[in-house]
Structure 1
Amino acid sequence: MTTTADPRVAEQEPRARFRDLVAAEWAKLWSLRSTAWAFVLGALAVLAFNVGTAYDTHRYWSERNDAGRAEFIRAGIPLQEAFTTNGVLVYMLAVGAIGALPIVGEYGTGLIRTTFTVVPDRRAVMAAKVSVITAVTTVFGAAVASSSFLFTQAILSVHDAGIPLSHPGAARAVVASALLAPVCALAGMALGALIRHSATTMVTVFAVLLLLPTVVTDRRPWSAALSHTLPLRAWDRLAQPGGAPDLHPWTAAGAWTVYGVWALAAAAIAVTAVQRRDQ
């Protein structure tokens, strides 16, 4: 007696487990030498701006009078030198570009076709990319922010001008600077998923993260409201409390909310943007 297989029963390939997708994205991220170099050069550039500023203060400290030295800490300048504006601009651009690379790189080489052929669930693939880049840039941000604070305050402490992490606003500045990295990286990945072209994506990352905050001002309520929704201005509210007061001030809770909304919205765009579009 022979039996025939039911033609309605087809052997199916098992679905890829999410942890396997994460492992694959991790391997792809570090398979290029440019990834490690981007992190190293980005960190060195940020530290060069911040540590260089602190060193200049150390070098010319003797030119300050007693009143100027007392005002230095009272005005919050040690925190401003730990996280300078130039340093944070380079920082945001670097992590924004790093966040875009995993997606625009695959589209540029055509490897994305192979990826989606092997794993047809595009949203799962993109969710794995989001998970990996979020984890990596969070660690990177924490390392850069803490190193910048420690190095600059060590230099300033030679003249008793440094502040400890327990100083009011210091811990918040370090955390805000650290978390700015995954926020900008996810924004870069979302733009990469929408644009899919390396050069255009990088220009757009620069325009959205760095150029747009210079266009809007706090002179009018509607412009100030738009300004407060941008990551750079949110970081400025959290990390630079000693700066010039705004005409339309924003709360620290509102600034943290901006961080969360940008991260969640960027992750959602990155995951869903590839679902209904051709490769």
Structure 2
Amino acid sequence: MSAAVLPVRPGIPADSRLRFSGILRSEWIKLTSLRSTLWSLLTIILVGIGLSFVLALTMESAGVPDEPSVRFTLSIVAIGAACGQFVAAVLGVLAISGEYSTKMVQSTLAAVPSRLPVLAAKAMVLLGLVTAVGLVTLFGSWAATYAMFDDLGLAVSLAEPGLAGALLGAALFLGLTATFALGVGAILRSAAGGVAAVLGVLLLLPLALSLLGNSMEWVAAVTPYGFAAAGESMWSIPAGPAAGSPVPGTPLTPGAGGLVVLAWTTMSLVLGALTLRGRDA
């Protein structure tokens, strides 16, 4: 009498389960299905365009230049980057701390034991999504206020040197801010702690450096390399027309400012990756 031989069920190849495109798709679905994500992105768009519109309505009474100025135009239409960075920061922290608070991260890391692809996928999705929303906000602000500038003879087209590049830089800054905050959230694993830490970098650190810079020369020298200060240079107009001219009040060009912000973001993600690998979920 021979023993029955049970058929062997083929297992699912590890490659198909752990392919990065699948992880990327999963993170996209998780992020875009959250109501907090939708409300955060809508807030960036509506507040950015709304504030630009209000400022444009009142700009004549506040004083305007005698001729069209890219720098003056940016002071109105780029307000979305100045305000939207705080919303982007909160969204970045919540993108990962929310998974820890609901314990969903345990299922995520069980499916992807190597862990690092999860953080990389989150960073890519967040950077792309928030930057795209930033583009809608910044170029939408320019379009919404163009007629008011034109009525005063101050309209500046996107073909004017510096304007389109500054708007692109502002949108990218929003994306990098969210990604930087993601790394901080991975380090601290707490929504409250992560938001407090990122807002400290964006608000309190520049204030502290400004106060200390009045009495310490070395502090004044490093102040432009802070995250917020370098980010502001990304959507500023250089002091001179020559290539490589720095932004007024800082040694950084817009491109150099972008590299500084990228360095901050990379450092945050690297520390977040080390924390993710070294601690249990």
TM-score for both structures, normalised by structure 2:
0.83
Is 1:198 matched with 2:191? Answer: yes
Answer with 259-268 or 142-151: which moved more: 259-268
3-state SS of 2:252 partner: coil
Name the structure 2 match of 1:226: 222
3-state SS of 2:161 partner: coil
What is the root-mean-square deviation in Å for CA atoms of aligned residues?
2.8
Deviation at 1:239, TM superposition (A): 2.3
What amino acid is the match of 1:51? Answer: F
Name the structure 2 match of 1:27: 29
1:98–1:185 contact (8 Å) kept in structure 2: yes
Distance 1:114 1:75 in 2: 50
Q: Relative to structure 1, is the Cα distance of residues 113 and 161 closer, same or farther in structure 2, using a 3 angstrom cutoff?
A: same
Distance 1:216 1:90 in 2: 21
Q: Relative to structure 1, is the Cα distance of residues 231 and 152 closer, same or farther in structure 2, using a 3 angstrom cutoff?
A: farther
2:238–2:253 contact (8 Å) kept in structure 1: no
Summarize the alignment of residues 1-279 of structure 1 with structure 2, pairs less than 5 Å apart.
Answer: 14-15=14-15, 16-58=18-60, 60=61, 69-70=65-66, 73-74=68-69, 76-84=71-79, 87-217=80-210, 219=214, 220-241=216-237, 245-246=248-249, 249-279=251-281
Distance 1:74 1:182 in 2: 27
String of CA shifts for 1:162-181, please: whole Å, max 9, x gaps.
21122232122111101101
Q: Relative to structure 1, is the Cα distance of residues 75 and 192 closer, same or farther in structure 2, using a 3 angstrom cutoff?
A: closer
Distance 2:220 2:146 in 1: 33
How many residue pairs get matched?
264
Distance 1:215 1:50 in 2: 29
What amino acid is the match of 1:113? Answer: Q
Q: Relative to structure 1, is the Cα distance of residues 75 and 131 closer, same or farther in structure 2, using a 3 angstrom cutoff?
A: closer
Q: Relative to structure 1, is the Cα distance of residues 169 and 262 closer, same or farther in structure 2, using a 3 angstrom cutoff?
A: same
Task: Structure 1: state its 5+ residue gaps.
Answer: none
What amino acid is the match of 2:260? Answer: V
Distance 1:230 1:211 in 2: 11
TM-score for both structures, normalised by structure 1:
0.84
String of CA shifts for 1:105-125, please: whole Å, max 9, x gaps.
000111111111222121111
Deviation at 1:245, TM superposition (A): 4.1
Task: Structure 2: state its 5+ residue gaps.
Answer: 240-246
Distance 1:210 1:49 in 2: 20
3-state SS of 1:165 partner: coil
Distance 2:72 2:103 in 1: 49
String of CA shifts for 1:16-39, please: whole Å, max 9, x gaps.
111111111111112222211111
String of CA shifts for 1:86-123, please: whole Å, max 9, x gaps.
x4342111111111112100001111111112221211
What amino acid is the match of 1:175? Answer: L
What amino acid is the match of 1:227? Answer: T
Name the structure 1 match of 2:244: none
Distance 1:17 1:242 in 2: 44
Distance 2:226 2:108 in 1: 33
Identity of aligned residues (%): 25
Answer with 228-237 or 205-214: which moved more: 228-237
